[in-house]
Amino acid sequence: MLILTNIFRINGAGVICYDGLLKIIADMAGGNHIIIPCSIHETIVMSEKTWLDEQVLQEMVYSVNREEVPADEILSDHPFRYEREMNRLCMI
């Protein structure tokens, strides 16, 4: 599992858009990844093999956003999957 942010740890979730970053991570780890948008400040990237139930993952992201993240810092209520072979990011 990786936590992605910028060096300031403020408004750092956008680093997932850095050209080629997700592909580099997937190539090093050898597979698809799940991206969890924690807040506008950071995202969590983990192996797709870690999560078997997409519904549980969706509910977890939504619940954490409602209970723990200030409304103005919510990035998304949906997790994403990075598909290594297609080099694309898809909402789950």
The region, left, alpha or beta by phi > 0 then psi within -120 to 50, assigned to residue 89 is beta
What would the mean pLDDT of 1-12 be, rounded to a whole number? 96
Residue 17 sits in which domain range? 2-91
pLDDT at site 49 = 87
| Tens digits of residue pLDDT in 24-76 | 999 998 899 999 999 999 999 999 988 778 899 999 999 999 999 999 999 99
Q: What is the pLDDT of residue 76?
A: 97
Q: What mean pLDDT do residues 6-10 have? A: 96
Q: pLDDT value at position 56?
A: 92
Q: How confident is the model at residue 18 (pLDDT cuts 50, 70, 90)?
A: very high
Residue 90, burial from CB neighbour count under 10 angstroms (0-12, 13-18, 19+): exposed
